[in-house]
Amino acid sequence: MLKGGALSYLEKLRHVQQINNSWLCIGLDPQPDKLPVEAVARWDEPLLPFNRAIIDATADLVCAYKPNLGFYLQWGAAGVIALERTIAYIPDHIPIILDAKIGDIGHTQAAWGKGLYDEWGVDAITVNPFVGAPAVRPLLSGRPEKAVYVLARTSNPGAQQFQGDLTDGHGLSADVMRAAPAWAGDGDGHCGFVVGATYPAELAAARALAPSANFLIPGIGAQGGDLHAAVVYGSDAFAGPVINAGRSVLYASAGLDFADAARAAARALRDDINRLREAAALPARS
């Protein structure tokens, strides 16, 4: 615990994982062609009421929410306003990971940090590490209550072209995972990694390369990622991984019952994760 009783990012994450018995994160990614037509037809600005309904239905089932910036920018200024209000609506005890994949030189990253951390109040940001340490240090320096998730192994089919193969320890992904832990020091925020569940063997290799880093694991649900590997190799010594699902939860129904359907899908996925945790005999953390 930090001075003044505040929690570090990992403490906040672990706390809600214990309360909700959940490693599930929901990606709040509104797509115009997938929003439930019957429901959103009642709203002039559909994003915020849609997101509020999803949050109300699932807040006791998740360990985090992850809105992706791109899904809001496509709506222009109205989308940015909806994102800001969505962030404000999420209960304070639940971490918010803004998926923006930012990665620029130091003073630009510092501006991102001021806007996303200080103004919007998100807890973590996804970061592209291509420019190296300057993409991370300005975001974490002196912010122990915050985190970044550095792109290490993305879940898309073409990931290996530039990222390499983590299982042989060579390539960009492996280099990033070796270097990035040094980009945060004592008193700074946490440097975690994005490692996709669509490459299960590489999840195991990633954990070996970064034994103490928290993992944000996309690719579950619509992308068909390996949930068993996400559970077995995702957990670190302090907290469970953040296992993200988006479309399979948000769009479980195209009708007026979309929020109830989202809750049912989220509960089923959380329970599947917990059954795998029990089968793997992963220790409970107090």
Contact by Cβ (8 Å): 256, 39? yes
DSSP track, 22-35: --EEE-----TTTS
The 10 Å CB-count burial string (b at 16+, else e) for 84-111 is eebbeebeeebbbbbbbbbbbebeebbe
3-state secondary structure of 236: coil
Query: Residue 172: which residues within 8 A CB-CB, separation 6 or more?
Result: 162, 163, 164
What are the angstrom distances between the C-alpha of 31 and each of 99, 248, 259, 283?
A: 15, 13, 16, 38
The 10 Å CB-count burial string (b at 16+, else e) for 31-52 is eeeebbeebbeeeeebbbebbb
- Provide the annotated active-site residues: 101
Other Cβ atoms within 10 Å of 204 Cβ, number: 14
d(CA 246, CA 266): 10
Contact by Cβ (8 Å): 220, 272? no
Query: Any idea what DSSP says for residue 103?
Result: -
